A and B are shown apart, each in its own frame.
Chain A
Amino acid sequence: MDAEAIKMLAAGLAIGLGALGPGIGIGILGYGAMQGLARNPEARGPIMTNMILAIAMAEAIGIYALIVAIILAMIA
């Protein structure tokens, strides 16, 4: 494999593996929020706000992987 192929492979692996963790995390968050909603439908507003905040925290980690992938694929 030449360097270019390895670079592309690395970019794909970076975003693919980096999206795994946040995906699981967002799934767990959604699960928790849905359970909270089912038990307590009146608390819809605060649950939604906090869920979105927490999802953004989890998503940020995926975004790091995305930045690494973009840098690998386009700049490096």
Chain B
Amino acid sequence: MAEPKRRGCLGCSFPVLIIIVIIALAIVILGFLAGPIGSKLVGEMEWLSWMTVQSPEPHLPAPVLFHILGLPITNTVLAGWITVIFLVIFSWVITRRMKLVPGRLQTAFEFLLGWMFDLCKSIAGEENGRRFFPVVCTIFLFVLFNAWLSLIPGFGSIEIAVHGHHYELLRGSNTDVNTPLAIALVSFIFVIFFGLKDARMGFVKQYLNFGRFFRSTGRIFKGKFEPIEIFSGAIDIFVGGLEVLSLLIRNVSFTFRLFGNMTAGEILLLIAAFLVPWVLALPFYGLELLVGFVQALIFAGLTLVFVTMAVSPHEGEAH
């Protein structure tokens, strides 16, 4: 049975398609001319006020909107709460009526979680992957939906007046340096907790390795002077110090990676929307979707890798 030959392209007949292309081109050209590049090239023209975009003024510290019990609530905190509420309601709606043959939404979520679960198991091993999965996947989902919710059109355009200044009511929670820092600390404590729980002294010995130094200096009093042993003991202590340093710097790197990527994305969208209104921001929206996903994956994946490194026995214990 041959399909009936369809005329047209992309589901539209040709006249409709041509009209759509013309409208899209008109929007591109108008947007280009209305932006600062176009007005530099062609000269200032009279535009309606809704056609031009004001010069963006991104501010890094999140403005405080109001106080609850003396705690300052910024717009990024509000966005973080919205993400959490969204995730809770979303999960509740999906798991309320689970079916053996899943529906569309359930399939999508099962695919996402199953993929994350497989990643956990492939990196940390069968049993450990099962244990680490909840925290790792929570970090993943929070960062991911935080980034994606702030890309919804209209998310950042609600304004609120506080003390005579106009601020956005909502701003992506990751663009405040405190949120990435909080998630980084959670992952730091998670790593240390499982390291101490599973590897016990092996984990501590990685960082505070005084054993050989004290043993070899103790032997001096027994009349055995071994300068090479003392020297390598001192090197062990130094290496332990380096490990401590890398453990702490990891937090800074976690924090600024997420914060920098998200903030740079936000500013990039602002600048793109300012340079060529309406049009230029669209490809960057696609880029930001990808960046949000990759950053969430990296945050969760690195946490997983570090905690796996912390619980697995090291070669230093072998000798």
Contacts and interface: CB of A to CB of B under 8 A. Distances in A.
Give the interface SS of chain B, mostly helix, strand, loop or mixed: helix
A20 interface: no
A59 B260 CA distance: 10
Nearest to B61: A75
A71 B302 contact: no
A56 B257 contact: yes
Interface in A25-66: 49, 52-53, 56, 59-60, 63-64, 66
Contacts of A75: 60
Contact of B60 (A59, A64, A74): A74
Interface in B261-319: 261, 263-264, 267, 294-295, 297-298, 301-302, 305
Nearest to B261: A63
A66 B302 contact: no
A60 B60 contact: no
A10 interface: no
A66 B260 contact: yes
B298 A56 contact: yes
B253 interface: yes
Contacts of A63: 256-257, 260-261, 264
Find the residue from A53, A63, A67, A75 having the highest chain B CB count within 10 A.
A63
Contacts of A60: 253, 256-257, 260
Contact of A67 (B119, B260, B305): B260
A53 B263 CA distance: 20
Contacts of A59: 257, 261
A47 B63 CA distance: 42
A56 B256 CA distance: 12
A67 B256 CA distance: 8
Interface in B228-276: 253, 256-257, 259-261, 263-264, 267
B164 interface: no
Contacts of B302: 53
A74 B266 CA distance: 14
Contact of A52 (B58, B267, B298, B305): B298
Contacts of A66: 260, 264
A7 to B, nearest CB: 16
B264 A56 contact: no
B184 to A, nearest CB: 12
Contacts of A64: 256, 260
A49 B305 CA distance: 12
B250 to A, nearest CB: 11
Contact of B301 (A53, A67, A71, A74): A53
B253 to A, nearest CB: 6
A61 B123 CA distance: 25
A45 B268 CA distance: 30
B128 to A, nearest CB: 18
Which A-B residue pairs are the 10 nearest by beta carbons?
A63-B260, A60-B257, A56-B298, A67-B260, A66-B264, A60-B253, A66-B260, A53-B301, A63-B257, A64-B256
Given A52-B297, A70-B267, A74-B60, 11 more contacts: A49-B119, A49-B301, A59-B261, A60-B253, A60-B257, A63-B256, A66-B264, A67-B256, A70-B263, A71-B60, A74-B58
6 contacts: A52-B298, A60-B253, A60-B257, A63-B260, A74-B59, A74-B60
